Structure 1
């Protein structure tokens, strides 16, 4: 039956259905995640850095595996870096425009320094234009220790604001929380696949290169779970899930998603992946760190700051500026 429909109509329906599915599934997934955190006595920021980050990064993993099996390593690496650019510029930027995101000092002391270290190591590996097999093994091998380090750093480092956020977590049994977590995660993955298929098909019809598809359409599509989850989390008051989700997901993308194609063997990369795309990713992360630092400094008497509309606009403008740069240099 689908064969009888115009290709553009099928693609349009897939994109719309993917968006609708992401919004619903993100709501269920975040509700289940937050309830699980409450039932086990785990802080929302830890859930954001682990379960939510892993769950919303699942589409990137699937795309990376698929691209690797098809010999498209550039697309997989572009997907990981492009998703990080979208997470920082689009996800946090859009979330900050909707509702100011509270930030605490531990972000500058724990999460961001660790993320920057991961970026430095991965950047060093990519700077020569080749992702060697041993480098990919080092990256993916560092994932579990990095997650455990973040969780360890969170112990005894929770602010009053973070404790207060737990009061707004939905109350449900642990069983129901897990049920909604699984349903939400499954729907997130399915919706992302449908959306990415539609977006990728549209891009291919327009004759866009695989690298650009990985950096833009696929990266944007696989980052939509982060956008939906972060927006809904912030609107519901789970501020640390909104911010922790993005930081944890970015680290996950560099250590796991980007390294997957290199596990089967070394492969060459377009030099622009490092000189253009990786540099933009680092610049956006530094911009975020500066915004957090300035906000905390200005509100040092209040014990924390907020990422508001000004920082949100800067992040969004930087994100769209990257697209202009990509259009001028790659298309």
Structure 2
């Protein structure tokens, strides 16, 4: 068990570090080649914070651990809303832009419902994967339209983009992506071996250890944004990441090798994710102006603790 535990810990640490390096390198490269900050935020940064989940899903699917990949996608979305936004709101109240409330959040809800429809037959196959990828293309198009149609006062203030020479930016882009691939392989191997040794399902490992680990970039980015008073970035980061998780991360195992989905995934984990998505919209709607304050943050954090306790009791039982 020693080597799998070391691989899991090292994989998590390297995954978080390399994701940060990848985002910095990719954003600086894109900036040097003339991309606008808004477009960089919508594409490079959104993909970068979801890169750990995407790489872990790919490695898990090719290693015959597709259920770990599904657990990672659903578990990361649960962690993003309940843990990431919950902790961030405890640090500082999060204002919700009216554009996010009217456009991006309903889009996330629609994507969540689509994922539930595709999982309803308890299978994830190539057709489901293709549908999810098509939906991802539609969402990227809509994101672009939303930003173009938004008035200036509705646009989120982007974090300062890194100033790097093109050679340095390309170096960190390549190094970050390479270490992402290696560390995700270490993480999947370690998590799988631990699950087998303890008799815990790969699904539960994906929903907990791997999901929390791959959500660390979102947590770090959201907390850092709150400390810098860029509060509005946190919600946009989570909404974008959750859409990427469902449409890109969950599509991968279906495309590579069709897998059966345990009924408990739909009854417990999907319902938890859907309920938290509705709760996020409700929390934003009942505040005037729309925001998620420390009270809602404490509720979200408590909900995540309750979810982990439910997983524990069901696994032990």
TM-score when normalising by structure 1? 0.80
Match of 1:70 in 2: 63
Q: Is the 8 A contact 1:94 1:316 kept in 2?
A: yes
Match of 1:220 in 2: 212
**1:93-242 map, 5 Å:** 93-158=86-151, 160=153, 162=155, 164=157, 168-169=160-161, 180=172, 183=175, 198=190, 201-242=193-234
Match of 1:306 in 2: 291
The gaps in structure 2 that reach 5 residues or longer are none
**1:15-54 map, 5 Å:** 17=10, 21=14, 25=18, 28=21, 40=34, 42=36, 44=38, 47-54=40-47
Q: Residue by residue, what CA displacement relative to the aligned partner does 1:146-172 show, whole Å, maximum 9, x if unpaired?
A: 112112111141553746556x55555
Q: Number of matched residues?
A: 315
1:37–1:161 CA distance, 2 compared to 1 (3 A): farther
Q: Aligned partners of 2:131 and 2:190: how far apart in 1? A: 34
Q: Is the 8 A contact 1:122 1:254 kept in 2?
A: yes
Q: Is the 8 A contact 2:56 2:184 kept in 1?
A: no
- 1:325 and 2:307 correspond: no
The gaps in structure 1 that reach 5 residues or longer are 1-6, 300-304
Match of 1:302 in 2: none
TM-score when normalising by structure 2? 0.83
Q: Aligned partners of 2:254 and 2:279: how far apart in 1? A: 30
Q: Aligned partners of 1:15 and 1:164: how far apart in 2? A: 36
- 1:294 and 2:286 correspond: yes
Q: Is the 8 A contact 2:16 2:214 kept in 1?
A: no
1:280–1:152 CA distance, 2 compared to 1 (3 A): same
Match of 1:4 in 2: none
1:98–1:17 CA distance, 2 compared to 1 (3 A): farther
Question: Which SS does the other structure have where 1:142 is aligned?
Answer: helix
User: CA RMSD, aligned part only?
Assistant: 3.1
